[in-house]
Amino acid sequence: MKTIERIPTGIPGLDEMIRGGLPVPSITLVAGEAGTGKTTFCNQFLCKGAEQKEPGLYFMISGGAPSLVFKFASTYEFVKEDYFCREIHYIDLGEAAEKTKGTLDLLDLIQSKITEFQSKRVVMCNTSELQEILEGDYRRFLIKLARTIKDMGAVSLITGETGPGYPYPADIAHIADGIILLHNTEVNFMRRRSVEVLKMAGTPHMSGKHALDISAKGLTVYPGL
């Protein structure tokens, strides 16, 4: 039985559930409905790295300046202003995708950025937007993206929207080594947050839903609650 290298997510309680952190290399799908904390999860993951001087990359597709994403995130205590553009780089993939229109060019861009910043922590946000732009190439792009990221030894989070009737986007799930679900379920007119590790390759993990809180400290998981 081999020991697998891991890096902490930076989310208190979650690392306990997965034997200390995410495997290196690996791709983890973070899925949940709007408002479940996916973006905060990703920023917290990158800030944990930044705290340890590990450079991080945040690839985004949808609209709004990268600085704004950071500004909204900065209401959380774990964000330090000098991380921005030093330890953590926000890159708008949407513009590049429209210009190149080619899967290979896009993979080249991602690969060159990871090389440039020597990033071990890579976030891909709103990846499903690429489905519209890449069309028939989308799934093949995902398969190659997975290979690229893992061949470079990086640990990547890919966010995924959840809709009524499907718990996570199936096409991203296919290429993911891990799947983490963020729930915000309505129980008797109240919302109750929880986190669930559905799958984590090479990692005996705790199963079921565990209480999740989102405060000024970001996400905190209470395993067993």
Report 58-87 residues binding its own copies (CB under 8 A): 61-65, 68, 71-77, 79, 81
Structure tokens at 75: 């209401």
d(CA 93, CA 7): 25
Residue 197 pairs in a beta bridge with: 180
Residue 179 pairs in a beta bridge with: 29, 199
Q: Is 56 helix (H, G, I), strand (E, B) or coil?
A: strand
CA proximity to 130, closest of 152, 110, 156, 154: 110
Positive or negative, the Cα torsion across 201, 205, 209, 213? negative
C-beta of 102 vs 202, nearer to its own copies: 202
* Least CB distance to its own copies at residue 49 (A): 20
Structure tokens at 112: 């060159």
**Site membership for its own copies, residue 102 (CB under 8 A):** no
* Least CB distance to its own copies at residue 55 (A): 23
**Site membership for its own copies, residue 47 (CB under 8 A):** no
CA proximity to 221, closest of 2, 41, 70, 49: 41
**Site membership for its own copies, residue 203 (CB under 8 A):** yes
Going by C-beta distance under 8 Å and a sequence separation of 6 or more, which residues neighbour residue 38?
A: 30, 31, 32, 125, 159, 182
Structure tokens at 99: 């210009």
Instruction: Provide the mask over 1-30, with x wherever binding to its own copies is found by CB under 8 A and - wherever it is not.
Output: xx-x------------------x-x-----
**Site membership for its own copies, residue 215 (CB under 8 A):** yes
Q: Which of 52, 102, 112, 208 binds its own copies (CB under 8 A)?
A: 208
Q: Which of 12, 109, 111, 199 binds its own copies (CB under 8 A)?
A: 199
Task: Show contacts with its own copies in window 110-169 (CB under 8 A).
Answer: 126, 128-129, 132-133, 136, 139-140, 142-148, 150-151, 161, 163-168
* Least CB distance to its own copies at residue 144 (A): 7
* Least CB distance to its own copies at residue 46 (A): 17
Q: Which of 198, 213, 220, 223 binds its own copies (CB under 8 A)?
A: 198
